[in-house]
Amino acid sequence: MRGEKRMDNTLGFIDNDTWVHRLSGTTKLLSFLLLSIIVMTSYDTRFLILVMVISLFIMKQAKIKWDNISILVKIVAIFSVINLLAIYIFEPEFGVKLYSSRTIIFRGIGRYSISLEQLFYEFNVFLKYFSTIPLALIFVLATNPSEFSSSLNKIGLSYKISYAVALALRYIPDIQNSYMEIRQASQARGIEMSKKVSLAKRLKASADIVMPLIFDSLERIETVSQAMELRRFGKNKTRTWYRQRAFGKNDYLVLLGVLILIAIGILLFIANNGRFYNPFI
């Protein structure tokens, strides 16, 4: 509708012509999995910042715009803030126990004081989110769903499951488009859903869209299921992939870079005598 901002695909494949998009789906999948594991394991602030900076740089190289990820980033930011508050409420002295040090910044009631160690620990938790999320966004937004399914199959997952994952990724943009069409139809009938009304009314109006959206999605699923059955999908034990890419020079370079990052993370484990970097020693 006129005056309404267009909703971009939050998790849809963006077909840009970049070196990131030209990488094999297997390379992107392995890089995402390996880096996510080392990032979620490590609590070394220096390493987390390094991975985050590299991820943001690659995201820029992939020409992923803010409009494509803004909604997801805001949701993650809200979730991370809630999680950090929950950590402080249930264990306000965890950082003190972890780093064997206590530097009080603000003295509160009982054990609810704010210590530098607790803030540092929660800062590392925050870094984990924003080191992993860019990796996930690069993988999802720069990988064709068909190529993604072929990469899953290549690392040993059943092609039936791989194809189901690819279909789910393909449906995300379609569901978003259906949501916008139903929303515009509701507005045309006089249901206000813009910022002119309160948040509560907008949430209620959005909730009313859910049922038509579910029925529309079920109809799409039924159509695809019947088409696949008619084509005897799943009859054979293996299948070929139209979108499968062979490994190239850049794939080997990227995997080498990932292995170097993992080696740095492991060396920091050894240097720190564990997963945690302690600057308070």
- Domain match, 102 and 54 both: yes
- Domain match, 127 and 53 both: yes
- Domain match, 140 and 154 both: no
Does residue 38 fall inside a structural domain?
Answer: yes
Does residue 101 fall inside a structural domain?
Answer: yes
Q: What pLDDT is recorded for position 159?
A: 67
Does residue 4 fall inside a structural domain?
Answer: no
**256 pLDDT above the threshold of 90:** yes
- Domain match, 96 and 137 both: yes
Q: What confidence tier does 38 reach under pLDDT thresholds 50, 70, 90?
A: very high
- Domain match, 217 and 154 both: yes
Distance, in Å, from the CA atom of 83 to the CA atom of 79, rounded to the nearest integer, reads 6
Residues 6 or more apart in contact with residue 263 via CB below 8 angstroms? none
Give 185-218 pLDDT, tens digit per residue.
777 777 766 666 676 776 777 677 777 777 777 7
For CA atoms 79, 169, 261, 275, the dihedral sign is positive
Does residue 55 fall inside a structural domain?
Answer: yes
Full residue range of the structural domain in which residue 46 is found? 19-144+245-272
- Domain match, 136 and 157 both: no
- Domain match, 123 and 221 both: no
- Domain match, 67 and 162 both: no
DSSP element (H, E) containing 112: strand 112-115
Closest C-alpha among 46, 22, 50, 16 to residue 35: 50
Does residue 14 fall inside a structural domain?
Answer: no
Closest C-alpha among 246, 255, 248 to residue 34: 255
- Domain match, 65 and 94 both: yes
Distance, in Å, from the CA atom of 199 to the CA atom of 228, rounded to the nearest integer, reads 42
Residue 99: exposure state from Cβ atoms within 10 A (0-12, 13-18, ≥19): buried
Lowest mean pLDDT among 42-51, 94-103, 184-193: 184-193
Q: What pLDDT is recorded for position 2?
A: 40
Does residue 280 fall inside a structural domain?
Answer: no
As for how many domains the chain has, the answer is: 2
Distance, in Å, from the CA atom of 103 to the CA atom of 92, rounded to the nearest integer, reads 13
Does residue 213 fall inside a structural domain?
Answer: yes
- Domain match, 103 and 28 both: yes
DSSP element (H, E) containing 50: helix 45-61
Distance, in Å, from the CA atom of 56 to the CA atom of 46, rounded to the nearest integer, reads 16
Residues 16-55 as b or e (16 or more Cβ within 10 Å = b): eeeebbebbbbbbbbbbebbbebbeebbbeebbebbbebb
Contact predicate 115/105, CB 8 Å = yes
- Domain match, 51 and 74 both: yes
Give 140-156 pLDDT, tens digit per residue.
888 777 777 776 667 66
Name the more confident of 248 and 193. Answer: 248
